[in-house]
Amino acid sequence: MPSALTYPGVYIEEIPSGVRTITGVATSIAAFVGRAARGPTDADAESPVTINSYGDFERNFGKLDPTYPMGYAVRDFYLNGGAQAVIVRLYKANGGKPAKAAIKIANLPLEAASAGSWGNQLRARVDYGVSADIAARFGLATTDLFNLTVRDVASGAQESFLNLTVKESPRRADRVLKAGSSLARVAASLTLPATTVPAAHLDPDPGKTVWEQDKSSTGVAPADQAADSAVLDDAAYLGSPDAKTGLYALKKADLFNLLCIPPDLRGGNTAVTVYQTALAFCVDRRALLIVDAPAEWSSAGAITQSSNAALTALGLNGDAARNAALYFPRVIESDPVRQGQLDSFVPCGIVAGVMARTDTQRGVWKAPAGIDAALNGVQGLAATLNDAENGMLNPLGVNCLRSFPLVGPVLWGSRTLRGADLLADEYKYVPVRRLALYIEESLFRGTQWVVFEPNDEPLWSQIRLNVGAFMQNLFRQGAFQGKTPNDAYFVKCDKETTTQNDINLGIVNIVVGFAPLKPAEFVVIQLQQMAGQIQS
């Protein structure tokens, strides 16, 4: 009702409907953690970087390089249907050498935008062809402005910045380069705007180059040139939760659903400690960890011998293992950087891509496995499994990659690491777990408006309305079992779930249940002959 009814007439008032649409979150944003040739590192404010294509990855982190297996995993992700990825580049100091290359210009020391030896190929040039009108607009003298050109000799990329200054101004060099350059930054050691360009470098001839770095050398002693990252150890992967480094740099990402940690060296393994820490992190972030089988797992027997000792050694167990899925064996692909030679690669990027493709085509509730889960770009598998060997691994929760005539290589398993038959876990299947994570994250984000609302029946009815509408939409898309909504899901929020004591404590309890679809792992066809009918 209007606050005051003072004059005779008609009053118009808009009444809220109470409908607050809950939008489902993305289901297949894949996060990759590892080394790369260039790009923001985990310690930089710009990390992690969200990309939407493999071209984005190359522009930010460099081209395929056998030294950095993460690039191959990202390529496989997009080759198999991936759409969006979050990249965390790790960097470990290398023998005391500088991380970022220096570009020495008098009183304007520059450095490469990111760590790595790629910055040793940067060249810079300064000239003073500036406009007096622009200088007056900024309240500066013409001699306070200069133009800067930075060029990457290796790639040919070049950037030009006009009317820069080292004095306080909208064109202050450090701010302009930080906002607009992918090649260079003003060195952090330089304090602006106290530093000024020496008068000896000024020239009355507009446009004349007054300094140009030598084209054959950076002017930096070889011992002081920037170096690429050393081989990563566990500490580099784990980083610091407080500083948000290592894999915890993903704390700065709004959302990711799948986590891939390729081994740091081709043919190597990701450390068990790293996987265990990453699994706990995935539980916190409602994400699924894709685990690559160790390189020494050469056959099904190598996994099952000694009472499955190899599988137990991974240490990925307990309820947290619901958020992890293991895939075996590794895949054989051609390496374009090595003239198409075949080599073994981890499958995590491929699996993440297949999941993304399945989500788009069918939905997160469809198992990313079967003859439709084809592996693109794969020439073969590191181990060939038959039905009997597959039958040894599937009851243990190991998802197999198989190759069939005409069909080719496919994912042929969809169990979490709690999927062993012995455990009888309710989240034994990947699609069931991923659907639950999707619902949890969507409801977590979609019910923020409830906080601080009056805790009584009007609020509860709104919650039932909005959460029920979200679940009904999933039911109509075929995400649940059951012919009717009552068979498929329920949403309960009333005086039974929220008692007076809960109200006094400021708590509202919402109970949401759903009947998940389980994949048809085993198809049994019964065949019998019809006995001849005897006429009487």
Tens of pLDDT, residue by residue over 353-363, are 999 999 999 99
Instruction: With beta carbons less than 8 A apart as the criterion, state whether 367 and 399 touch.
Output: no
Instruction: With beta carbons less than 8 A apart as the criterion, state whether 441 and 255 touch.
Output: yes
- Decide if pLDDT at 315 tops 60: yes
Cα separation, 291 vs 437, whole angstroms: 18
Q: What percent of the chain has pLDDT over 90?
A: 73
- Decide if pLDDT at 121 tops 70: yes
Within 449-504, strands assigned E span 489-492
Burial (CB < 10 A; 0-12, 13-18, 19+), residue 144, is buried
- Decide if pLDDT at 453 tops 80: yes
Q: Where residue 115 falls among pLDDT bands split at 50, 70, 90?
A: very high
Rounded to an integer, the average pLDDT of 45-62 is 95
Among the residue ranges 25-39, 130-144, 249-263, 402-416, the one predicted with the least confidence is 130-144
Q: Where residue 19 falls among pLDDT bands split at 50, 70, 90?
A: confident
Instruction: With beta carbons less than 8 A apart as the criterion, state whether 126 and 148 touch.
Output: yes
Q: Where residue 17 falls among pLDDT bands split at 50, 70, 90?
A: confident
Better pLDDT: 523 or 223: 523
Return the number of other C-beta atoms located less than 10 Å from residue 180's C-beta: 9
Better pLDDT: 533 or 218: 533
Tens of pLDDT, residue by residue over 498-526, are 999 999 999 999 999 999 999 988 889 99
Question: What pLDDT does residue 193 have?
Answer: 64
Tens of pLDDT, residue by residue over 432-443, are 999 999 999 999
Question: What pLDDT does residue 224 have?
Answer: 62
- Mean pLDDT rounded to a whole number for the chain: 90
Q: Where residue 536 falls among pLDDT bands split at 50, 70, 90?
A: low
Question: What pLDDT does residue 129 have?
Answer: 75
Q: Where residue 190 falls among pLDDT bands split at 50, 70, 90?
A: low
Rounded to an integer, the average pLDDT of 358-370 is 96
CA distances (Å), 112 to each of 59, 109, 150, 184, 185, in order? 15, 10, 10, 4, 6
- Decide if pLDDT at 394 tops 60: yes
Question: What pLDDT does residue 108 have?
Answer: 78
Instruction: With beta carbons less than 8 A apart as the criterion, state whether 479 and 439 touch.
Output: no
Among the residue ranges 66-80, 157-171, 253-267, 426-440, the one predicted with the least confidence is 157-171
Cα separation, 102 vs 123, whole angstroms: 10
- Decide if pLDDT at 213 tops 80: no
- Decide if pLDDT at 197 tops 60: no
Domains by residue range for the chain, with CATH: 30-92+230-432 (3.40.50.11780), 102-224 (no CATH), 453-536 (no CATH)
Question: What pLDDT does residue 2 have?
Answer: 61
Cα separation, 64 vs 334, whole angstroms: 12
Partners of 88 in the β-ladder: 33
Q: Where residue 14 falls among pLDDT bands split at 50, 70, 90?
A: confident
In which element (H, E) is residue 277 found? helix 272-285
* pTM for the predicted model, two decimal places: 0.91
Q: Where residue 222 falls among pLDDT bands split at 50, 70, 90?
A: low
Better pLDDT: 188 or 436: 436
Question: What pLDDT does residue 287 have?
Answer: 98
